[in-house]
Amino acid sequence: MTAEYQTLPIDVESHDRLAAQNLVFGLVDTTNTAEFSAWLQAESRGFHESPIAPEHLEEQLRAVADRRTTGVWDPTSAEPVSPVSTVSSWPTELTVPGSRSVPAWAISAVTVSPTHRRRGIARAMLESELRTAAGFGSAVAVLTVSEATIYSRYGFAPAAMMANWQIDPRRTRWTGPSSDGRVHFVSLEQLRDEGLTLVERVRLDTPGQIEFSGHLWERLLGFADNSAKAKTKRAVRFDDANGTAQGFAVFRVTDVDASFDAHILEVDYLVAATDEAYAALWRFLVEMDLVSEIKAPLRPVREAFAWQVSDFRAVRKTSERDHLWTRILDLRVALEARLYSGPGRIVVDVADPLGFAHGRILLEVDELGAATATAWEEATPEGVADVSLSINELNALYLGGVSGVTLARAGRITENRDGSAVVLDSLFQSAVSPWLSIWF
């Protein structure tokens, strides 16, 4: 059954802008096999991937049929049925500080054919998505990016970072806590049926996580991935002393130069509902025999396991970069959705060239961290902090992973009253580092 968001009308402004170039902007009928197949092949081409083989195409058609799928076609091209631009999107929930969530609009599969660059197609498509999302009632738009130089033009900013970690298990030993529970090997099929409940149970613990299921969940476990490495995945589950599942890990072990005692273990996904589960799973991985290196990509920038081994230098962060980008569409709803780190009052003057979140807001936070955001055109009250910033900076601050003081020192925030950046920082910071555990 088609969901309401899948058939939301095409944005008129972007449609007309592209029509002026004799380009056709429209929805893809995901029940039309030929039309949807051409779109999927164009998306694959846009990310420089191989054409989707016929035996895998049916699976792809099923996997993402529940998304709102749009494309741009050039009737004069040699293959007019193949879109020259693709985007897919869907509504989800974004976790924000305070174990809360806000309605969000996930944007994915953004491609433009190299034959049609610099014609404003990406701008038309992305601005269309933002207007559609705002009309649907999503307070925030979110995406993960392959290119970091494009999306700031549309008001996005990196709000949750990611890190790649490396552990040398041969030079260290586990010094973290022990557990009364136990770790079991489980089949990926069993985890597919049971594991997502646990993922959703802990989603509100970490700002930056989104609600997901379906294709994204199956891809994470390797079911929607036909590569050779997907076939080497294994899974373990941690049960506490009462027999309740509290975490699981998905990992792969590969040979290095045919050396049987020097395997590489790569952690594809690890989720824990308790500190005990976290420690037990990492201990299991660190103490694995015949492993010379553990790689843990797409992890939080701060990890407790670095403090749970005997040699601090045996654990290192090999890279840290942006991952989840956010874009506030409804200023009041977004700001009131999250909790803040303490009481305070601040006037925030936001410049948004696209007009979605433009305005001057008085943010008043009570003793419990709950906020009221009020449109404010008067003079800033005595003793109240006051800053000016663009929507990009506010998006970077939103999940609490970026320091307001750092942005002020970088010249990205203007203090209209001395000391206001410190107040901004003290309100927006999050005790839990924002992190998104998947790509989408």
- Is the same domain home to 286 and 403? no
pLDDT (tens digit per residue) in 358-409: 999 999 999 999 999 999 999 999 999 999 999 999 999 999 999 999 999 9
- Tell me, yes or no, whether 189 lies in a domain: yes
Place of tokens 């705002």: 134
Residue 258, pLDDT score: 67
147 CB-near residues (< 8 Å, 6+ apart): none
Residue 1, pLDDT score: 74
Cα-to-chain-centroid distance, residue 17: 30
Q: What is the mean pLDDT of the chain?
A: 96
- Tell me, yes or no, whether 187 lies in a domain: yes
Q: Looking at residues 73-95, what average pLDDT do you find?
A: 98
Q: Looking at residues 398-423, what average pLDDT do you find?
A: 97
- Is the same domain home to 179 and 315? yes
Question: Please, which residues bridge with residue 94 across strands?
Answer: 102, 210
369 CB-near residues (< 8 Å, 6+ apart): 98, 339, 340, 341, 342, 343
Please give the C-alpha separations between residue 95 and each of 78, 138, 272, 334, 335, in angstroms, as whole numbers.
45, 13, 16, 11, 13
Question: What b-and-e string marks burial along 166-178, b requiring 16 or more CB atoms within 10 Å of the CB?
Answer: bbbbeebebebee
Question: Of 251, 286, 321, which marks where a domain is finished?
Answer: 321
pLDDT (tens digit per residue) in 274-305: 999 999 999 999 999 999 999 999 999 999 99
pLDDT (tens digit per residue) in 253-263: 998 776 788 89
- Is the same domain home to 216 and 237? yes
- Is the same domain home to 296 and 187? yes
Residue 260, pLDDT score: 80
Residue 146, pLDDT score: 85
- Judge whether residue 109 has pLDDT over 70: yes
Place of tokens 């136990």: 182
- Tell me, yes or no, whether 378 lies in a domain: yes
- Tell me, yes or no, whether 291 lies in a domain: yes
- Is the same domain home to 400 and 271? no
pTM: 0.96
- Is the same domain home to 308 and 335? no
Residue 35: band (very low, low, confident or very high) from pLDDT cuts 50, 70, 90:
very high
- Is the same domain home to 46 and 134? yes
Question: Please, which residues bridge with residue 372 across strands?
Answer: 364
- Tell me, yes or no, whether 433 lies in a domain: no
Q: Looking at residues 46-65, what average pLDDT do you find?
A: 94
Pairwise CA distance, residues 274 & 276, whole Å: 5
Residue 217, pLDDT score: 97
- Judge whether residue 84 has pLDDT over 80: yes
Q: What is the 3-state secondary structure (H, E, C) of 337-358?
A: HCCCCCCEEEEEEEECCCCCCC
Q: Looking at residues 66-72, what average pLDDT do you find?
A: 98
- Tell me, yes or no, whether 146 lies in a domain: no
- Judge whether residue 101 has pLDDT over 90: yes
Question: Of 105, 122, 138, which marks where a domain is finished?
Answer: 138
- Is the same domain home to 248 and 365? no
Exposed/middle/buried for residue 296 (C-beta within 10 Å: 0-12, 13-18, 19+): buried
- Tell me, yes or no, whether 231 lies in a domain: yes
Question: Of 301, 321, 341, which marks where a domain is finished?
Answer: 321
Domain that holds residue 106: 4-138
* Number of structural domains found in the chain: 3
- Is the same domain home to 264 and 365? no
Residue 415: band (very low, low, confident or very high) from pLDDT cuts 50, 70, 90:
very high
- Judge whether residue 425 has pLDDT over 90: yes
- Residue scoring higher pLDDT (260 or 336): 336
- Is the same domain home to 313 and 180? yes
Pairwise CA distance, residues 77 & 84, whole Å: 9
397 CB-near residues (< 8 Å, 6+ apart): 159, 404, 407, 424, 428
- Tell me, yes or no, whether 154 lies in a domain: no
- Is the same domain home to 219 and 361? no
pLDDT (tens digit per residue) in 206-225: 999 999 999 999 999 999 77
Share of the chain above pLDDT 70, in %: 100
Residue 149: band (very low, low, confident or very high) from pLDDT cuts 50, 70, 90:
confident
- Is the same domain home to 169 and 75? no
Q: What is the 3-state secondary structure (H, E, C) of the chain?
A: CCCHHHHCCCCHHHHHHHHCCCCEEEECCCCCHHHHHHHHHHHHHHCCCCCCCHHHHHHHHHHCCCCEEEEEECCCCCCCCCCCEEEEEEEEEEEECCCEEEEEEEEEEEEECHHHCCCCHHHHHHHHHHHHHHHHCCCEEEEECCCCCCHHHHCCEEEEEEEEEEECHHHCCECCCCCCCEEEEECHHHHHHHHHHHHHHHHHHCCCCECCCHHHHHHHHCCCCCCCHHHHCEEEEEECCCCCEEEEEEEEEEEECCEEEEEEEEEEEEEECCHHHHHHHHHHHHCCCCEEEEEEEEECCCCHHHHCECCHHHEEEEEEEEEEEEEECCHHHHHHHCCCCCCEEEEEEEECCCCCCCEEEEEEECCCCCEEEEECCCCCCCCCEEEEEEHHHHHHHCCCCCCHHHHHHCCCEEECCCCHHHHHHHHHCCCCCCCCCCCC
Residue 148, pLDDT score: 79
Pairwise CA distance, residues 367 & 342, whole Å: 6
CATH of the domain at 48: 3.40.630.30
CATH of the domain at 424: 3.30.1050.10
